[in-house]
Each structure stands twice: as C-alpha cells, then as structure tokens.
Amino acid sequence: MGSDLMRAWVVAEPGPMATGPLVMEERPIPEPGLGEVLVKVEACGVCRTDLHLAEGDLPPRRSRTTPGHEVVGRVVGGEGLAPGSRAGVAWLRSTCGACRHCLRGSENLCPFSAYTGWDTDGGYAEYLTVPAAYAYPLPEDVPAERLAPLLCAGIIGYRALLRCDLPEGGRLGIYGFGASAHLTAQAAIAQGATVHVVTRAPAARELALELGAASAGATAPPEPLDAAILFAPVGTLVPPALEALERGGTLAVAGIHLTDIPQLNYQRHLFQERTLRSVTANTRDDGRAYLDVALAHPPHVTITPYPFESADRALTDLADDRVSGAAVLLFS
C-alpha cells in the first residue's frame, strides 16, 4: 500500500489566489504512525484558514503542505478506531498533554500543539492520517458534505459563542457571515438570543434573515449589543464593533488571522467594562460538546459544493466573497 499514489493539493508558493499558489500533485498514500489511523476522504470543508495559508497571511510551517481540516472520511488502516467507521478530522491534530495549559483543560493553548493542514497534511487529498485520539466519531446517516462544515466552522463558532459571554436571551452581534457565522447564528438563536448580522455581502444578509436573524445590515446594528463575534478578518471593524456594545459587553474575535486593529480610544471603545478577546482554536471537549448538540439538533447547513479537482476555484470564490454558507470539496 505504501507505494500506492494518491492525488493531493499542496500550497506550492504562497501568494494571492490569482498567482496559483495551490497545485495538485501525485504523492504516496501516507502511512499511519503509532496510534494513528489512515482515513480515506469523503468530503472536506473549505475554511478561511485554508485561504490564509494559500495566500501567505499565515506563514507555512513546512513546505508543500496539503491544507484542509474539516475532513469527513472512513478509517481504512492504522490503529485506535474500527476499520470502516466514519471519522472526522479537525484543526487540532495533537497537543503535548503535559504542559500547564493541557493539564488545566486548555489544550487549545498548548504551545506544542499541531494543526491539520498546517503542521501536517490535511484533507485536500484522497487520504490523510490522524491520531485516533484526536478524531471525532461521526454518524452514518448524515451526508458527508453536511458534516464537514461542523468540524471547524461549527466548533470554532461554538467556542467563540462561549468566549463572548452572551447572557441568556441577550443581543448578539455577528460581523461577517460566512460558514462559521451561519452556524453560530443558528446556535445562538436556538438558545434564545436576538441576533443582528453585519456583512457587506447582500446574499449573506439574505441568508442571515432566512436563518432567523433579527436584522442584517451593511453597517451598524440597530440596537446596543450584549455580546458580539467578529468573523470577518478585518481589524478596522474592531473599533465600531466595540462602540456598538452595551456597557459590560464582550467582543470575541473568532479568526486565526486579523488585519491590524486601528488605534482605540479608551472612552469610546473600552471604558464601561467592555471587553475585547481572541478565540484560539478549540479543545477536544469543545468539539465533542458542539457535535453532541449539532447532531441532536442539526443546523441548516448551507453548502456550496465543489468537486475535489476544483479546490483552487473554491478558494478563489471564497476570496472574492462568492461562497454562500460553507464551501465543501466532494470526492467522487
């Protein structure tokens, strides 16, 4: 099996999508290591982080890495999970288990953590490996393309919702409305929140209203907010988002990359105990907790499907705001 080849997309030379940073190549099917399983990919979600890696906003950690960390597939080799079972591979690939953060239940902050599609090859390929302890068991009765976006967009959005300290029945602002935001909005509405969406994309505003948002506008929300999540990777949105908070409100920045935040004014943006915080990856407990809820009460997952062979087009469309909901690569 080790000599068998597979097709895999790799980031060859990070740069704007127009320069073709993503190329497909043939490479050997990877061999699972100790405690790892080999997964044959059924579907892989397209996350904005993949775009940051392709375009070089996030520096590569190794050369010619395959992106993709919303992977739904089947176990076809290795140890730790039943052969033939369905598994999900997400962003957090491994942690040390021994540092102060791991021991305190904050493995998302482990300085020795590794990430799928950044430190190791991800799911824009026909096969990948993953430590069994970091894979999520997934049900058989849901199509792979509906499960894939839950694995990062869903889980990270869930953590962002925890981090923004939304009070019960509170008013939540959501800035940017892509894959993660459209799942997070539904989770918040299900909890009884009033959700206001701010996004420049007209189609996304329409989707937000369909999913139950109280308002969807291009600029400021219509009332003060108890909490807000910034999904758009745009630092210039931080000051107005802080200004739109009620006293005591919290703004959580959900993304791994943000353009520079302009100068803040203490009185206008922070005083009255407004809080600005980041969201860094997720713990496996976050992942399991979110998937429990999302599989018991499935959200409406809006999908823009692409064949595996068109991963470069999917990322270009994401860069140009042409994706509705979540883009997903399908393997035939």
Which residues contribute to the site for Zn ion (CB under 5 A)? 47, 49, 95-96, 99, 102, 110, 152
In the complex, minimum distance from the CB of residue 183 to Zn ion, in angstroms, rounded to a whole number: 12
Return d(Cα 67, Cα 294) in angstroms, integer: 25
DSSP assignment of 29-63, as one string? Answer: PPPP-TTEEEEEEEEEEE-HHHHHHHHTSS--SST
Nearer to Zn ion, 8 or 47 (CB): 47
Residue 320, token pair as written in the block: 């140009």
Separation of alpha carbons 211 and 306, rounded Å: 23
**Cβ proximity to Zn ion, 99 vs 132, nearer residue:** 99
Torsions phi, psi for 43 (to 5 deg): -155, 150
- Pick the closer one to Zn ion by CB: 49 or 194: 49
What is the smallest separation between the CB atom of 48 and Zn ion, expressed in angstroms?
7
Which H or E run includes 101? Answer: helix 100-103
| Residue 242 · residue 251 · CB < 8 Å | yes
Residues 6+ apart with CB under 8 A from 188: 161, 166, 172, 195
Tell me the closest approach of the beta carbon of residue 96 to Zn ion, in angstroms: 3
Q: How far is the CB of 156 from Zn ion (least distance, A)?
A: 6
- 69, with CB counted inside 10 A (0-12, 13-18, 19+), is buried
Smaller CB separation from Zn ion, 27 or 257: 257
Residue 47, SS3 per DSSP: coil
Residue closer to Zn ion (CB basis): 118 or 242? 118
Nearest approach in angstroms of CB 90 to Zn ion is: 8
- Between 31 and 285, whose beta carbon lies closer to Zn ion? 285
Least Å from the CB of residue 89 to Zn ion: 12
Cβ neighbors of 4 (< 8 A, separation 6 or more) are 28, 29
> Residue 175 or 231: which CB sits closer to Zn ion?
231
Burial group, residue 332, by CB count within 10 angstroms (0-12, 13-18, 19+): exposed
Cβ of residue 26: shortest distance to Zn ion, in angstroms?
26
